[in-house]
Amino acid sequence: MRREQTQVTPPRRVLVTGGAGFIGCNLTASLLQEGAQVTVLDSLVRKGAAVNLEWLQRQSLPGQLLFVRGDVRNAGLVTQLVRNADEIYHLAAQVAVTSSLEDPRLDFEVNLGGAFNVLEAARQSGHRPFVLFTSTNKVYGMLASGSSAGALPENGFDETRVLDFHSPYGCSKGAADQYMRDYARVFHLPVVVFRMSCIYGPHQFGTEDQGWVAHFAIAALSGRPITIYGDGSQVRDLLFVDDLVRAMGLARRNADRLAGEVFNMGGGPTHARSLVQVIAELERRTGHPIRLQHGPWRVGDQRWYVSDIRRFQHATGWQPEIDPGCGIERMYTWLQTHRPAWDDTVSSPLALAG
């Protein structure tokens, strides 16, 4: 009697650039739970990344997680890591508009040069790995600045909005965004682009320049004042990181159908909140007022941005499941229980690979 041989499916081989950053570590943890073999490329420049990496190493099985400390500007290193990857999540970036104004060349080299290195490595690999790139709503420029709700789109801004890069950061991410689309068209790579709005959640070591929801929560917990630039009426649609990670998984599973597509990714109109509303939410949790300071409006700051997420919803059935009230509570609780991890965090928005 012949014994039937059981075929074992090899684990997915995944590269996450910026995998020790906020979004990267949440994504990597999910991939590890799915049994994937994950390589994390991160420079650990940003404080908090080392804490996230240590947490990931505790989540992984022996041999499941490989960490490479490096920079996406290193084309040779990127090529080496991409060579055996089935999936690539390119999250590594310089992440702040303010830093791009201070050092435009660095912003250009990291955001556009790093993205180009990933694309060229994927093209030269010869096996068409799936690539997901995290772009930004800043590719749409300043957008609406008036206060009339009637002048704003009911469902938020959709992907047909004219690109209008504003600030070096908008230019570098926007140019990388377009390179991603074009490599999908010209070289037939299965690339998907997410133009992301306000993502928040555990493992976010937010600063004044990037990750503002976590920054507000850290300030509330530590008793430090929050500086509001403008009047605090700026509106963003909040998306909890678990919902984003689910969307990334759906994009990968539908890669053949979604290749070359760009999607606005955020919480949508039902998850839209102003800065002052988020502050009020945090004050309810702390039980005391948060000290506020005020400064002038900043260059490139959109007064009102809400993502129209219907296109990705129609394509995959995805929708946000965690409302801002619940999400802020979960993030706040995580920060409370992990105070040593963020209490000495230096407010540096630079994250070359994180």
**How many separate helices (H) and strands (E) can be counted in the chain?**
14, 13
Quote the CA–CA distance of 125 and 339 in Å, as a whole number.
43
Catalytic residue among 140, 169, 179, 305: 169
- SS3 of residue 303 by DSSP: coil
* Sequence-ordered alpha helix ranges (H) in 92-230: 97-102, 104-108, 114-125, 167-187, 212-222
Q: Which two tokens stand for residue 150?
A: 């009637």
Quote the CA–CA distance of 142 and 302 in Å, as a whole number.
5
Print the SS3 string covering 43-110. CCCCCCHHHHHHHHHHHCCCCCEEEEECCCCCHHHHHHHHCCCCEEEECCCCCCHHHHHHCHHHHHHH
Quote the CA–CA distance of 174 and 112 in Å, as a whole number.
9
Q: Is 113 exposed, middle or buried (0-12, 13-18, 19+ CB in 10 A)?
A: middle
Task: Give the amino acid at 99.
Answer: S
Residue showing tokens 């995998």: 19
Q: Which two tokens stand for residue 239?
A: 């998306």
Q: Which two tokens stand for residue 9?
A: 């499916």
CB neighbour list of residue 112: distance below 8 Å, 6 or more residues apart = 172, 175, 176, 179
Assess whether 200 carries a catalytic annotation.
Answer: no
Among candidates 130, 104, 136, which has minimal Cα distance to 118? Answer: 130
Cite the active site residues. 169
